Amino acid sequence: MMTHTHEQAMNYVYQQVLQRLLSFFSRAERTALQLMIQRLVVSAGGMERIGEYKVLSIQSGTRDCCYTLALLRAAQLSIAGRAPATFQLRVATLRTNGASPMALENIHHSCSALFLYDDPRVEVVMVDNREVLPFSHLAPVSDAGRESNRLNLLMVGHRRTWNGPLDLWDDGYLAAGEFYGQICRWDRGVDALVSSDTPRQQKQFMHGLTRAAQKAGLNASNDPESGYEELFARLDELGSDCYREFYSEHGQAEWRPAESFEACRRTTFIDIHDMLVSNLEDRWPLLTDFLGFQPDELAAQLSDNEFVSLTISAHVRGLEACFVHGRTYEAGVADYVQRALVMMRRKQLPERYCEQVMETFVNPTTMSDQRALAAAQAQKSLGLSEAQLVCLLFAPFVDNGASLERFLRQCHPGMLVALPDLHRAMQGKSAPEQVLQWMVDVSGLTVKLIGTLYRMGPVARGERPGPAVGNADEPALDLDAGNAANGERSTGR
């Protein structure tokens, strides 16, 4: 009796949540919601099968992620109000070193406002170091997860020519792809991945995934026109361990709990980007007043991609100017900011954004403070020192150390005398202890992993992918002559 009473009480609460949610929807959004429900019901095989149907929403705390989650919850509760059962929902987050506390807060606030945590029809989970856990916005990334993420970022990032495009954060695409493939198979799997990404954003992600897979030594077919309808075929092609070429058998943790993963995936992709009928401004009341979303507006508009912060992106451009091109750090940051301002004005963004950028990055009196702040942030979030970032810029180890001498001349001339010892160490031969220690300190990698890179060639960058944008109708923020600004790619998140 108590259970039945509790269930009635909770159903009342859920209907109250739905009514409040719908009160923020425009007429066009309510119509779009009905169309989305139809799409889900058809995909499930009819209303009589909807109760067995499970939908996945990947959540990273961006604006589009949270809005998509609200739409899915509205669909779930709307069906529950007029049918014996509704679809189940899995909300999953990948924990990475670069994720901001604000993004995690946004996920938590959204889940709380939508009453997801205690609803038996909803799973809210996160993956840390290949382990599926209940989501917690307060839990830091595990030490093992931080170290694994750091090494993966470096290994993928070093697979480039020293003067190639600065796609240093490609590991983010690979980690996300592996995560999508595995979380779809976990605990009896899911039937559909739902995403509101635009076709252009989908292509951006698929390009990034293919490029990162090639850097990881995997064979990846490259269809320049493919979107998420090709995602699972691509992931099957890559296999369940996308880093296997870098590490020996014991290099990476297994996906856990191992017995909870289905051998076969049944997931399809449901595209709902055409359901996002409201303009961005109209969504803010729902996002901020209902979901408690806190926008990091500047980062959302300007970030090179979602895997690293705006501050670190600008910092890397400064370091590149300083160490690679013989200019000043300030000149590199200024170039980055100027490109940003041009694109912001082309997008007709509010002038306050431009002023904020100028204030943050262009004031010469604060530039040294800004550099120290960015270096500290890179150390804290990515686990990389300034010396290790500079080493990453030169990619000196791949292709039998082809760029090593150039790197030493530019950055560590005192080590030129040790060049033969360095080559011997990378070939697995004996070398002086202080040389081995220097290699570890300057790169952030073990000597064994540096040796792995030494035996691998660089991955030359071919055709650059089209940039992703936060809204289908906006021009891209192309901060790096083709390096997409991707602050709001959502993957249904």
Model confidence pLDDT, tens digit, residues 252-289: 889 998 888 888 788 999 999 988 887 777 888 899 99
What pLDDT score was predicted for residue 477? 35
Going by C-alpha positions, the residue among 21, 20, 19, 55 that lies closest to residue 37 is 55
Closest Cα partner for 435 from 454, 449, 417? 417
Per-residue model confidence (pLDDT) at position 81: 92
User: What per-residue confidence (pLDDT) applies to 80?
Assistant: 95
Contact 165, 461 (CB under 8 A): yes
So what's the pLDDT on residue 487?
35
**What's the CA gap between 8 and 1, in Å, rounded?**
11
Answer yes or no: are the C-beta atoms of 360 and 299 closer than 8 Å.
Answer: no
Residue 261's contacts (CB-CB under 8 Å, 6 or more residues apart) are: 182, 185, 186, 255
Q: What are phi and psi of 124, to 5 degrees?
A: -115, 105
> What are the pLDDT tens digits along the chain (493 aa)?
457 787 888 888 999 999 999 999 999 999 999 999 999 999 999 999 999 999 999 999 988 899 999 999 999 999 999 999 999 999 999 999 988 888 999 999 999 999 999 999 999 999 999 999 999 999 999 999 999 999 999 999 999 988 888 888 999 999 999 999 999 999 999 999 999 998 988 998 999 999 999 999 998 777 767 899 999 999 999 988 999 999 976 678 899 988 888 887 889 999 999 888 877 778 888 999 999 998 776 665 555 556 777 788 889 999 999 999 999 998 998 888 888 788 777 766 667 777 777 777 766 666 778 889 899 999 999 999 999 999 999 999 999 999 999 999 999 999 999 999 999 999 999 999 999 999 999 999 999 999 999 999 988 665 333 333 233 333 233 333 333 333 344 444 3
pLDDT for 179 equals: 96
Residue whose structure tokens are 């009473």: 5
DSSP 255: P
Q: Residue 5 and residue 380: Cα distance in Å, rounded?
A: 49
Integer Cα distance of 404 and 438 in angstroms? 14
pLDDT at 86: 97
